[in-house]
Chains A and B, each alone.
Chain A
Amino acid sequence: MRYLPLSEADRSAMLAKIGASSIDELFKDVPEEARLAGPIDGLPMHASEMAVERELSALASKNMVAGEVPFFLGCGAYKHHVPASVDHIIQRGEFLTAYTPYQPEIAQGTLQVLFEFQTQVARLLGCEVANASMYDGSTACWEAIGMARRITRKTKAILSNGLHPHYVSVCRTMAKFTGDTLATSNPVLEAATDAEALIAAIDADTSCVVVQYPDILGRITDLTPIAEAAHAKGALLVAVVTEPVALGLIKAPGEMGADIVVGEGQSIGVGLQFGGPYVGLFACREKHVRQMPGRLAGETVDAEGKRGFVLTLSTREQHIRREKATSNICTNSGLCALAFSVHMTLLGERGLTQLAQVNHARACEVAGRLAAIPGVEVINDAFFNEFTLKLPVEARPAVHAMVEKGVLGGVSLGRLYPGVDALANGLVVAVTEVVSDEDIGALEAALKEVCQ
């Protein structure tokens, strides 16, 4: 077996040193009836690298690859071009095969990267501090609600109907077990968000208002009035960003008064990968940092006075606090945080702004052209790189019909909200820099045909 260095001679010599006559003797604590006599029946034996590659490549080839067709899917995961150097760097063994930096003297690479990542995330989201990453956007969103509960000591969270339905589902699952009550509803296919309704719903028992920006339908709205209304009642504003590239062009939630800003960082540096692994972003005000979940890298000095970095404030964490921890999170998303950070470093403000401008310009162009198809309506007034169409037909079969024409034309709201008739004709279309003129033409033609 190519991954196992011990030879039979090694094994014999080691058993002799141990004083055991056989390997089985080392498993003597396992009750007789639970010991398997040989390899489990019905499972294949070991295979060569070539054989495994062949077998799994055959599975991969059954999938329709985003980069090979006109592609317009978003709703929480976005296809952007990732520079080649990002993947090169995250494949360096010193990053790829390191553990959590518990021995800082020999983990300064990872620790400095995390410190830089935290700074980049905080600045991008418009906040004072950020942590070293969460699992993904959906779990970060739930953790933000828990953090708001700890800070305000209230348990009622008001969720905007523009929050990603998977995120709502995750929060609903967790709230069942924590005693939080969540106010939720389905979105409405119209230009206005539910900002006014949210403001009206805030009361003295509210821990936080959770607003996605841009929202699930691609709409953007000023969060300042919601933040002010929340603060007036002693509640917090939690903002959720699933497309961080947007923040190269539009105001950051932290700049508009959000107290906790969480996000899905996949869009920057991390590929689509069928939904994971991704990287959760989590940022907040400095005064709340001791209630923040997740790992934190901090600056310090070594015994010679040289600057260095360590994991810090771990008295919030499970390995110290056990049942009193702020969260049970242990492993986070280190390598994806590295990918995010490398891509962000390559972009810089200049590249990020340009990238965001291209996304927005492309999206405006596509929205204009699709709106010209008879019966098709763009519901958004304002958007970044994603908008929602109201089709004259049900969107879910329309998406399947477009697949027949080799076009991945968007996410139907029927997929995200099964059984909700009012949303059945909604199609969310995302347009990034990877979309070519030919792709736009193909989408336009396919949509025209399926809407007839």
Chain B
Amino acid sequence: MTAVNPSGWRPATPVAGEGSATATVTGNRALMLEEPLLFEIGRRDQTGVDVAAAGEGESRLGGLERGGVDLPGLSEPEAVRHYTRLSRQNYAIDLGLFPLGSCTMKHNPRLNEKIARLPGFADIHPLQPKETVTGAIELINRLAFWLIDLTGMEGVAMSPKAGAHGELCGLLCIRAALEARGDARQVVLVPESAHGTNPATAAFCGYRVENIPATAAGRVDLEALKARLGPDVAAVMITNPNTCGLFEPDMKAISDAVHAAGAFVYCDGANFNAVVGRVRPGDLGVDAMHINLHKTFSTPHGGGGPGSGPVVLSKALCPYGPLPYTARYADGTVKLIEEEDAGEEMPDSFGRMVAFHGQMGMFTRALSYILSHGADGLRQVAEDSVLNANYILRSLEDVLDAPFAHSGPCMHEAIFSDKGFADGFSTIDVAKALIDEGFHPMTMYFPLVVHGAMLIEPTETESKANLDQFIAALRSIAERARAGDAALKEAPIYAPRRRLDETLAARKPVLAYRTPAPDGADSGEGAGIGGG
């Protein structure tokens, strides 16, 4: 292996404790700047906005005047600096590879940001009369059209706010469809490898959750599934491609068996990026699937949201979708249906999931992305994402255990286990060492079916040079983990913080800033939640 960095420079092996060796007066280290809390630098009488003075006049507050609120302010230059300094303590896709499996951290095109900020989209009220927002409704309908066509489904509920909310929408459709035929089924089957949101959603909808086992090849065990199907099963929730990064080759047979048993197929669409433009879930018998616009269609993750999780539905489930709902008619036209039209158009709708229309700001970005790629570009997205993942898989399988590599190619993510690491070394040590190499770690310890899982999703927006650098870094770290290099345990040492004490945070929770008492003693038990 040649140089880690394309320029040929390679850092020396990190030395334990080096990060704290030389102290500065400020605690800053050149461009690595420490930033106090807002509450330590702001003042209640400081403000960064100029508001015109209110005119003198009557007050009609009904005697409910507030006696003040302890919110510190900053002037604009102080505020911009506070947040700019904080921003520099974040890793981000704009800085480098962000290979979090199942999260699809791809480049976020800036055209999308520009489109979302056009006043005609950004500055319209959700309750404006419909004749004043025809362009907005048309935008939603056009995105709906694309989502329906790309998935081969019949209709789409656009309003769910995120993936888990979309799962909820899909299961509520299924429950409403079953209730409409007087069928009170109790059980939802979920593979062991599913995202945690799947069982949480099913339980919320009132279902008992049962696991479906996986085969040694990392797929749903079709025979075990068939054996469990029966009149008590409402739905099966499948992730395809699954969380091991593998396509479920029996998907059609699974759907057929589920349908024959009178149940429905929910597909978790978190991994749609691998197949967009190449496979339509509708062709595989899926009844409902959420699409994370913040994954496949590039809307920014924003440090944990906002997301957007439209749900495409099969013909059997369309009548039960939530309001507002986007219906597609036989002649190809699309229509947004709200409560007042529901009596005629959607009498069996299960109701509203959110106020207003859903994540409009994400719809504009997603449509901008989709139009940029077109049908051909989206297909290329799937191909390049799968190519990149397989390249990583085959470049590292000699130093990292790849539990499913023998069964063939992966889809858009590669999975490895911690088998072969020296005693006492685990996935977290590899992950933290990647931080020192300038990469965000992969998804760790998920899915649960692989020991010490490392789930790597490079996405299609990485160049080969970036992948080569990542592979070189991970190869070196894997070798150190196999050799039991104690320095790995110290990682990260170059990040803004060393490993953080999560046990302390949970045992003695401090969830809000407490102003210290004037004498310097703590005024409040930040913890105070009791129980400990």
Contacts and interface: CB of A to CB of B under 8 A. Distances in A.
Interface stretch (A231-239, A242-250, A442-450): A242-250
A274 B126 contact: yes
Interface in A26-80: 26-31, 33-36, 38-40, 42-47, 49, 51-53, 55-68, 71, 73, 75-77, 79
B200 A325 contact: yes
A331 B306 contact: yes
A53 to B, nearest CB: 7
Given A106-B495, A272-B125, A354-B54, A27 B278 contact: yes
A306 to B, nearest CB: 6
Given A97-B301, A333-B306, A348-B71, A105 B387 contact: no
Contacts of A45: 374-377
Interface string B41-61: 011111111011111011111
Interface in B282-313: 283-284, 294, 300-308
Contacts of A167: 355
Interface residues of A, number: 213
B90 A300 contact: no
Interface string B154-176: 00000001111101100010010
B344 interface: no
Interface in B50-77: 51-55, 57-66, 68-74, 76
Nearest to B37: A116
B249 interface: yes
Contacts of B116: 273
A415 B496 contact: no
Interface in B84-99: 84, 86-95, 98
A405 interface: no
B87 A109 contact: yes
Interface in A403-430: 403, 408, 411, 415-416, 418
Interface string A103-119: 11111111011011011
Contact of A276 (B74, B251, B358): B358
A151 to B, nearest CB: 14
B113 A91 contact: yes
Contacts of A177: 172, 175, 204-206
Interface string B355-385: 1111111101001100111111101110110
A11 interface: yes
Contact of B57 (A39, A75, A96, A365): A365
A279 B71 CA distance: 19
A83 B132 CA distance: 26
B356 A275 contact: yes
A99 B98 contact: yes
Given A108-B496, A276-B361, A289-B509, A95 B55 contact: no
Contacts of A35: 278-279
Contacts of B518: none
A310 to B, nearest CB: 5
Contact of A345 (B48, B53, B368): B48
A37 B134 CA distance: 36
A26 B386 contact: yes
B395 A17 contact: yes
Interface stretch (B226-234, B258-266, B345-353): B345-353
A6 B277 CA distance: 18
Residue among A109, A310, A313, A400 with max Cβ neighbours from chain B (10 Å): A109
A318 interface: yes
B135 A276 contact: no
Contact of B376 (A39, A89, A276, A351): A39
* Interface-centre pick from B120, B526, B529 (highest chain A CB count, 10 A): B120
B474 interface: no
A302 B71 contact: no
Given A346-B79, A348-B47, A116 B304 contact: no
A124 interface: yes
B277 A382 contact: no
Contact of A115 (B37, B463, B498): B37
Given A52-B111, A67-B119, A124-B69, A408 B132 contact: yes
Contacts of A300: 500-502, 504-505, 510
Contacts of A249: 61, 65-66
Contacts of B84: 89, 92
Nearest to A404: B131
B500 A335 contact: no
Contacts of B368: 52, 56
A431 interface: no
Interface stretch (A127-135, A152-160, A196-204): A127-135
A299 interface: yes
Contacts of B496: 105-106, 108
Interface in B118-141: 118-129, 131-136, 138-139
A411 B127 contact: yes
A63 B124 contact: yes
B200 A29 contact: no
Nearest to A318: B200
Contact of B76 (A20, A55, A85, A317): A85
A314 to B, nearest CB: 8
Contacts of A55: 371
A332 interface: yes
A311 to B, nearest CB: 8
Contacts of B280: 34, 36, 40
A197 to B, nearest CB: 18
A56 B139 contact: yes
Nearest to A280: B161
Given A34-B279, A275-B360, A418-B339, A348 B125 contact: no
B359 to A, nearest CB: 4
A14 interface: yes
Contact of B200 (A129, A327, A364): A327
A53 B371 CA distance: 10
A318 B393 CA distance: 29
B69 A75 contact: no
Contacts of A373: none
A263 interface: no
Contacts of A87: 117
A443 B408 CA distance: 68
A319 interface: yes
Nearest to A295: B304
Contacts of A76: 126-127, 355-356
Nearest to B150: A40
Nearest to B393: A18
Contacts of B19: 304
B132 to A, nearest CB: 4
A364 B440 contact: no
B332 to A, nearest CB: 9
B372 A345 contact: no
Contacts of A135: 161-162, 165, 305-306, 354
A305 to B, nearest CB: 9
Given A65-B120, A98-B91, A112 B35 contact: yes
A304 B494 CA distance: 13
Contact of B306 (A66, A276, A299): A276
Contacts of B79: 85, 342, 345-346
B319 interface: no
Nearest to A81: B49
B401 interface: no
Given A30-B247, A274-B356, A351-B49, A18 B129 contact: no
Contacts of A96: 92, 94, 108, 113, 300, 302
B450 interface: no
11 contacts: A5-B462, A94-B91, A110-B90, A116-B39, A170-B351, A273-B122, A296-B509, A331-B307, A348-B73, A349-B70, A358-B53
Given A17-B395, A94-B95, 9 more contacts: A18-B390, A39-B277, A39-B375, A95-B90, A98-B93, A124-B69, A170-B351, A252-B66, A348-B42
8 closest residue pairs by CB, A with B: A348-B73, A60-B120, A275-B356, A382-B62, A335-B302, A62-B135, A93-B94, A275-B126
